Amino acid sequence: MTTAIWLFGYGSLIYKVDFPFLERRRARLDGWTRRFWQGSHDHRGTPEAPGRVVTLVPASQSVCIGMAYRVTPDVFAHLDHREKNGYVRETIELQFDDGTRADAVVYVAAPGNEAYLGPAAERDIAAHIANARGPSGENREYLLNLADALRELGSDDAHVFDIERELRAMA
């Protein structure tokens, strides 16, 4: 029998579920925050003009709301390819809405990876996103889909929503 593993999604894994799963539950990571600090050379941008996508950043007083999926190990062949542009797998403890906890695999793009862009003002990030496009589509779609998915989860993510507001003001 294959052992199931929890996977935590905090970006496109919330709304673009192109992998099989056994169970899906809303969950949170304490001590982490979502930031548009990772470049995307392969999905929402190109090597010459990368887009911006989210990664996790340690932040002691923060909470990152996302979606947990119970998956079988064979799913990671697909996900490792999908999350290849600077992301590595880490195991982090998550908490479900009922208070129970479990270890989960999460993809994190840490500073120093080849695609890391780092912090910037929300307005500058929005301008960057407004002009980026890659094989998976416009970078703005990623931001807008993520913002909508976070609203559906009841997550008030100021960073994402501030960038969304700036992007919409530019249109």
160, amino acid identity:
V
Domain boundaries, position 28? 5-170
Round to whole Å and give the CA distance between 114 and 125: 18
Strands (DSSP E) found in 43-162: 51-71, 88-96, 101-108, 133-134, 137-138
Find the range with the poorest average confidence among 1-10, 43-52, 158-167.
1-10
- Indicate the number of domains in the chain: 1
pLDDT one-digit tens code per residue, 156-171? 999 999 999 999 999 8
Q: Per the residue annotation, which of 83, 122, 164, 166 is the catalytic one?
A: 83
CATH of residue 66's domain is 3.10.490.10
93 is catalytic: no
pTM to 2 decimal places:
0.95
pLDDT, tens only, 70-115: 999 999 999 999 998 899 999 999 999 999 999 999 999 999 999 9
**HEC sequence for 54-88:** EEEEEEEEEEEEEEEEEECCCHHHHHHHHCCCCCE
Nearest to residue 56, comparing CAs of 44, 43, 38? 38
